[in-house]
Amino acid sequence: MSARERVAGGTASFIDERTGAAKWMKKTLTKVFPDHWSFMLGEIVMYSFVILLLSGTFLTFWFDPSMREVEYEGSYEPLNGIKMSAAYASALHISFDVRGGLLMRQIHHWAALIFMAAMVVHMMRVFFTGAFRKPRELNWIIGVALLTLGIVEGFLGYSLPDDLLSGTGIRIAEAIIQAIPVVGSYLSYFIFGGAFPGEMFIQRIYAVHILLIPGIMLALITAHLMLVWYQKHTQYPGPGRTEKNVVGYPLMPVYMAKAGGFFFIVFGVTAFLGAVAQINPIWIYGPYNPGQIGAGSQPDWYMGWLDGLVRAAPPIETHAFGITISWNILIPGLIIPGIIFTLMAFYPFIEQWMTGDKREHHVLDRPRNNPNRTAIGAMSLTFTLVSLINGGNDLLATHFDLSINQIMWFSRIGLIVLPPIAFVITKRICLSLQRADREKVLHGRETGRLVMLPHGEFIEVHEPLSPEKAYVLTAHEQLPALEIGEADENGVANPQGFKGKLRARMSKASQEQISKPTPKEMLELEDGHH
């Protein structure tokens, strides 16, 4: 036994004698993780979160979350002598007078953008492959909560430097709060400690940004990971992969080296962006002043779709009995996002209700094999994308020689018309892909080689698929639609009323499939002439 082995053994024994951890650790270190690039998306999110914690802590050492008015006297000459909040002045100090401060600020901001981007793409992966199905519904809901918190956290974060661009964002947030029926103006006065902008909000959102929300997110991420751990990871369909097993690499050493290495890679790429790409140059924007504004004021991208919705809203307000209800703010700012996030959180249960499938699933769907879900996803993405485009309409207008009025009308109509079109098209594409899969299984892959038969006929040579590939294309199951809404045994038509009818229709839509080859068809082919 080498010296190193003795030390390792000694440490393990020390820990086990005090915690009894050996049994658990033995299981843990041999835990199996399937390998696929799309399973790394969640890791990017987690690592970005760690990067945010580290770089954020660095920034707190100098950041002064105070709206006390100061006169700037730092090394950024064009702001010298300008009155500004201590928060903005300290953000300038970090950028120009702390070595590596600007780098850390930029890493923090880029990490936030990547955090949100990876989170959204991770959720798309989970959605389109059906990874949210039983038993993982709770983890999906935790994910939706994390997304919501992430949006709020990001918004508060870029508001902290108190520059003109972020102040404009806070102004808009205040208008949304103020528009809440009955209590709006009270809430606003409580949050801002009086009239907008007041002298309190930076220190308040600072506490929320660095303590409250990260704390909750950390707890939720822990729960999220524990559930992944406990339920074991899902896997893509393939030979040898079933609902009862999980195929992959053991945590120790392969997965640990890969995942640990990937953390450094994510940090490295973020640092690279922080080095080469300038982000949020607050010194150019100047300190916040409610009487000033810049053309092309946009939020960060994860808020952009909300801003786009607000821009597209119709100009409707209700005035009656001495009160005002601002539908133009409430609908795009609170009601639609509320509906979207609620539907998103409950989607696993909605799908269960539609399909009647309440079994556990550990093997993922290929998106084409669930056309209805894939189409719903494409529909939601289209809606978000159109509103995101509208959120940048002024920049699109100047850079592509368009008019903001045209883009606005395109978005207003597009928000209603395009999502259903995306639904229909996506569903058709999925069904075509299923048809292609079926053909491939039955007749093999088209090789593109043409052969002339002795009697002069040209045929394309089809190459049979390998059993592994063919298995992947047929491993999915196709459930029949639920039979509801028909007359029951007593002859009572549609015992469940409207709800039953709706469910039957939904079920029918969600089970629309191109039936995969049957064993009979396969046998006929084998016996046949081909």
Partner 1 sequence: MGKSVNKFFGFISRYRRHRFAGPLMLLSGLLFAGIGYTVAHAATEEVQVVLSSDKASLISEGKEIFARGCSSCHGLNAEGAGAAPSLIGVGAASVDFQVATGRMPMADMSQQAMRKDPVYDERETAALAAYVASLAPGPAAVTNEELFWERDGNTAEGGELFRTNCAMCHNLAGQGGALTQGKYAPTVMGVEPKHIYEAMVTGPQAMPVFANSVLTHEEKLSIIKWIKFVETEPSQGGAALGRVGPVTEGAVGFILGLGILIGIAVWLTTKAR
Partner 2 sequence: MSETNRELEPLSDPGLPEHVHRKTDVDPLAAKKAERQVSILFTLSALGTILFVYAYVWIPEDTLIFLPLFNVTNAHQLFLGLGLAMALFFIGMGAVHWAKTLMPDHEVVDYRKEQRSKDEDRAAFVATVKDGAAQAGLGRRPLIKRSLGLALGLVGISPILLLRDLGPLPENDLNETNWKAGTRLVTDPGDRPIRPSDLEVGGVAQVQPEFPAGKVRHLDDIAQDSVLLIRIRPEEFNLDAERLSWTYEGIIAFSKICSHMGCAVALYEQTTKHLLCPCHQSTFDVTRAAKVIFGPAARPLPQLAITVDNEGYLVAKAPFNEAVGPSFWGRDSQ
| HEC secondary structure over 440-467 | HHHHCEEEEEEEECCCCCEEEEEECCCH
Task: Examine residue 185 and tell whether it contacts partner 2 (CB under 8 A).
Answer: yes
Contacts of 94 (CB under 8 A, 6+ apart): 59, 62, 63, 101, 102, 104, 105
**Cα separation of 76 and 478, whole Å?**
66
In the complex, minimum distance from the CB of residue 456 to partner 2, in angstroms, rounded to a whole number? 35
Task: Examine residue 418 and tell whether it contacts partner 2 (CB under 8 A).
Answer: no
By CB under 8 A, the residues from 167 to 226 that bind partner 1 are none
In the complex, minimum distance from the CB of residue 236 to partner 2, in angstroms, rounded to a whole number? 13
**Cα separation of 31 and 259, whole Å?**
14
Task: Examine residue 443 and tell whether it contacts partner 2 (CB under 8 A).
Answer: no
Chosen from partner 2, partner 1, none, partner binding at 127 (C-beta under 5 to 8 Å by type): none
Among 62, 189, 236, 262, binds partner 1 (CB under 8 A): 262
In the complex, minimum distance from the CB of residue 433 to partner 2, in angstroms, rounded to a whole number? 18
Task: Examine residue 133 and tell whether it contacts partner 2 (CB under 8 A).
Answer: no
Task: Examine residue 95 and tell whether it contacts partner 1 (CB under 8 A).
Answer: yes
Task: Examine residue 178 and tell whether it contacts partner 2 (CB under 8 A).
Answer: yes
In the complex, minimum distance from the CB of residue 286 to partner 1, in angstroms, rounded to a whole number? 5
| HEC secondary structure over 198-210 | CCCHHHHHHHHHH
Quick count: other Cβ atoms within 10 Å of Cβ 235? 23
Among 130, 150, 299, 419, binds partner 1 (CB under 8 A): 299
Chosen from partner 1, partner 2, none, partner binding at 280 (C-beta under 5 to 8 Å by type): partner 1
Assign 222 to helix, strand or coil. Answer: helix
Would you give the distance in Å from CA 53 to the centre of its chain? Answer: 20
In the complex, minimum distance from the CB of residue 142 to partner 1, in angstroms, rounded to a whole number? 22
Listed ranges 32-40, 356-364, 415-423, 460-468: which one lies at the site for partner 1 (CB under 8 A): 32-40
By CB under 8 A, the residues from 315 to 344 that bind partner 2 are 315-317, 319, 322-326, 328-329, 332
**Cα separation of 224 and 227, whole Å?**
5
Among 38, 148, 203, 297, binds partner 2 (CB under 8 A): 297
Give the up-direction half-sphere exposure of residue 352: CA atoms within 13 A in the CB hemisphere: 14
By CB under 8 A, the residues from 101 to 130 that bind partner 1 are 102, 106, 109-110, 113-114, 117-118, 121
Q: Give the chain's radius of gyration (CA, Å).
A: 28
Task: Examine residue 266 and tell whether it contacts partner 1 (CB under 8 A).
Answer: yes
Assign 414 to helix, strand or coil. Answer: helix
By CB under 8 A, the residues from 350 to 379 that bind partner 2 are 359-360, 362-363
Assign 192 to helix, strand or coil. Answer: helix
Taken as a whole, the chain contains a residue count of 530
**Nearest-CA neighbor of 115 among 209, 36, 217, 47?**
47
DSSP state of 100: T
Task: Examine residue 243 and tell whether it contacts partner 2 (CB under 8 A).
Answer: yes
